[in-house]
Amino acid sequence: MTVANLLDFDLEGLAAFCEGLGEKRFRATQLFRWIHQRGATNFDQMSDLAKSLRSKLQGLAEINGLPVISEHVSSDGTIKWLFDVGGGNAVESVYIPEDDRATLCVSSQAGCAVGCRFCSTGHQGFSRNLTTGEIIAQIWYAEHTLRQRLGQSERIISNVVMMGMGEPLQNYSALIPALKIMLDDHGYGLSRRRLTVSTSGVVPMIERLMVDCPVALAVSLHAPNDVLRDELVPLNRKYPIRELLDTCRHYLAAAPRDFITFEYCMLAGVNDTDEHAQQLIDLVKGKIPCKFNLIPFNPFPQSGLRRSDASRVQAFARILADAGIVTTVRKTRGDDIDAACGQLAGEVQDRTNAKDRMQRKPVAVPISIRRLDGSENQSR
Ligand code: SAH
Ligand code: SF4
């Protein structure tokens, strides 16, 4: 008989599991609280749970976290953990403490099939989806390890962003129960505004998320027109900008915030000119309530791309802001431990089929940028 990993179940799932053992539903709530609120690792710890249930669970179920391969602590307090997910694959999570909140950046896949040009995870190819339990193991471990270290019993992680490795909306069936566990008052008690799914734009799944679990949405835009976005975010060829923006607008009807966050990775000479900023304004102004979050590109070997100068990022931000679009520039955290956006490399056995790999590489080929007037220039 297979042993169930209880980290795989949201409260509904755990209730069904307990009912299958002939136990009342409220037992599931007790069990769930032990696991997620108290970080229990075995059933003997669960002192208020009937002995009969505890012995029933032995052998049928376990609380199975992920082995930690390494931990890096940055001088700014950021912590990066590398977790072993088996088969030569590893994923990363990053803890980012700030004055008024503490954010955990969580991975959803080993590798990623989208293959964005500027993303280290994308360059590794795709290995496999994480299970719900593997997604939850990241917050379960971080929350309870930090509580122990800081000698604190109150909740530490106040925000979660699904911005680690992987495209969360391409792992939808594992993602939804994971989000529900994070939102559950008996689990991690996050509010929907403090739980963000970041996506490169999987349009049909944004529509489903709206119905199943409408949390805050961040969309990785990175380009103001389809020609450029096709190159930077290959998924754009399937779901072009117009369609993506229509879906974002629709999502707002259910979203916990009244705007969509657009992430925009600033790549020198590629997507960071005044003209690009103007195109962005034309795309969104008066059409969709949104905020822009400009992310200075975090370089990694083989990207062949450069970070825009700080002055260019500021000038770009100013153009958007002057047009009335709320714009922030993301602070880079954990630079000294390679914990910044897009640097989460983990270790992934690329199981993308060889044909796709050949199409994606070599990675150092210059991106050709077609200007609005149809001329081309080459940029690295
Ligand atoms: N797959 C999802 C979530 C993970 S990536 C998505 O693409 O949205 C989280 C964010 O980091 C995305 O906005 C992504 O575009 C950005 N990112 C990826 N590589 C980066 C890099 N090298 N420098 C800066 N940001 C990067
Ligand atoms: Fe995948 Fe997001 Fe990286 Fe693109 S940016 S390759 S979607 S993880």
pTM above 0.75, yes or no: yes
The predicted-structure confidence for 99-108, as pLDDT tens digits, reads as follows 999 999 999 9
- Ligand 2 atom closest to Cα of 123? 6
Amino acid 2: pLDDT = 87
**Ligand 2 probe mutation, 118, 121, 165, most atoms within 8 A of CB:** 121
Neighbouring CB atoms inside 10 A of 173's CB total: 9
Q: Name the closest-CA residue to atom 26, ligand 1.
A: 342
Return the higher-pLDDT residue of 313 and 364.
313
Full DSSP string of 79-109: EEEEEEEETTEEEEEEEEE-SS-EEEE---E
Q: How far is the CA of 357 from the centre of ligand 1 (A)?
A: 20
Spell out the alpha helix ranges (H) of 21-131. Answer: 25-36, 51-57, 120-124
The catalytic site residues sit at 92, 341
Q: How far is the CA of 124 from the centre of ligand 1 (A)?
A: 14
E-only strand ranges, 106-223:
109-111, 126-129, 159-162, 195-199, 216-220
- 8-17, 169-178, 291-300, 357-366: least confident range: 357-366
Assigned token pair, 188? 């991690």
Give yes or no for residue 360 having a pLDDT over 50: no
All domains in the chain, ordered by first residue? 4-62 (1.10.150.530), 68-374 (3.20.20.70)
Amino acid 345: pLDDT = 60
**Ligand 2 probe mutation, 108, 117, 162, 167, most atoms within 8 A of CB:** 167
Mean pLDDT of the 173-191 span = 98
Give yes or no for residue 109 having a pLDDT over 90: yes
Amino acid 301: pLDDT = 82
Give yes or no for residue 373 having a pLDDT over 60: no
The predicted-structure confidence for 18-49, as pLDDT tens digits, reads as follows 999 999 999 999 999 999 999 999 999 999 99
Question: What are the CA-CA distances from residue 250 to residues 156, 178, 217 (Å)?
Answer: 33, 24, 12
Amino acid 371: pLDDT = 32
Q: How far is the CA of 239 from the centre of ligand 2 (A)?
A: 15
- Residue 380 pLDDT level (bands cut at 50, 70, 90): very low
